[in-house]
Amino acid sequence: MYKPLTDMRVVTLALNLPGPLAAKRLVELGADVIKVEPPEGDPFEKYCPDWYAEANKGQQKQFINLKSEEGQAALAELLRGADLLLTAQRPAALDRLGLDWESLHERYPQLNHVAIVGYPYPKENHAGHDLTYQASLGLITPPHIPKTLVADLAGAERSAIEALGLLIGRKDNQKGRQVMVALSEAAEYMSLPLKFGMTSQGAILSGIRPEYAMYETASGWVAIAALEPHFCRRLQEKLGLDSLSKEVLAEIMKTRSSPEWVAWADEFDIPLVEVKEN
């Protein structure tokens, strides 16, 4: 299997989620990834050991105290042979470690840097988290906490894409460059359906249309997404209806169990699934 990043070395100081997930993508593309953790380890290993193990799979781990002279020397040795540095600390914290971009570029002209931050300039040192990014964009409904980490996951994918672009440049002998990936901007990108009015109250994807909604069945719930005209026509035809309405569909869906409806939909190529209950 072709691995475009074979012979590329990545050093990552990124802990918790977005950085390790981005690094995992680079490992899958063939990069040699060395993860530097502090002596006490990555806090995410304590929060969720199973996901930590999966996210960091394939990364070579080294425990280094970057606040010590010995640790600084060990990191310098790693960076001398590296093509990319991945970080998730705030710029002010990197400055204190002597890892600001000006210093890095002067010492390691070949080194690229993907810096994951919370907010773009001039708020790059402001504190934030997935919950605050989503909340500020209207992506959550109080008091419910989101069931996924939109900013972290989207930020990880964006970081991997930016890293790939920089490493392609490195293969062409380009000098090192820095790219900052703001998690708040990644969350903003994921909020575009809401921004453009597709998922807001009463909009086309809000559940107001009968062919794009959730319905209670005899054993749970199903989600129907027959939005495209050919799916919608097929749904109406196979149910023997002259027209679709949420009220009529709600009554019909209660006549069978969720698995029965899934089997029925699979037979006629209609997008319908059972709603998984946690």
Tell me the pLDDT band of 162, cut-offs 50, 70 and 90: very high
pLDDT in tens, 239-266: 999 999 999 999 999 999 999 999 999 9
In whole numbers, what is the pLDDT of the chain averaged over residues? Answer: 96
Beta strands at 212-216 and 221-225: parallel, antiparallel or unpaired? antiparallel
Cβ(155)–Cβ(181) below 8 Å? yes
CATH number attached to the domain at 212-274 = 3.30.1540.10
Is it true that 9-194 and 212-274 share their CATH fold? no
**What are 110's two structure tokens?**
């070949």
Give residue 38's pLDDT: 97
Cβ(97)–Cβ(68) below 8 Å? no
3-state secondary structure at position 211: coil
Residue type, 222: V
Tell me the pLDDT band of 172, cut-offs 50, 70 and 90: confident
pLDDT in tens, 88-143: 999 999 999 999 999 999 999 999 999 999 999 999 999 999 999 999 999 999 99
Residue type, 185: E
Domain ranges of the chain: 9-194, 212-274
Residue 210's Cα: distance from chain center in Å?
31
Q: What are phi and psi of 141, to 5 degrees?
A: -115, 105
Tell me the pLDDT band of 1, cut-offs 50, 70 and 90: confident
3-state secondary structure at position 252: helix
pLDDT in tens, 115-129: 999 999 999 999 999
Residue 245's Cα: distance from chain center in Å?
36
Q: What are phi and psi of 9, to 5 degrees?
A: -110, 130
Q: Is the peptide bond before 4 cis (omega within 30 degrees of 0)?
A: no
* Residues in contact with 126: Cβ distance below 8 Å, sequence separation at least 6, in sequence order: 118, 119
Give the Cα separation of 172 and 251 in Å (integer): 63
| CATH 1.20.210.10 is the classification of domain 9-194 | no
DSSP for 61-78 reads: EEE--TTSHHHHHHHHHH
Give residue 230's pLDDT: 97
Give residue 173's pLDDT: 85
Q: What is the number of residues in the chain?
A: 278
Give residue 194's pLDDT: 95
The answer on pLDDT for 277 being more than 90 is no
CB-neighbour burial class of residue 1 (10 A; exposed 0-12, middle 13-18, buried 19+): exposed
Give the Cα separation of 185 and 118 in Å (integer): 8
Residue 174's Cα: distance from chain center in Å?
28
* Positive or negative: CA dihedral 149, 96, 12, 110: positive
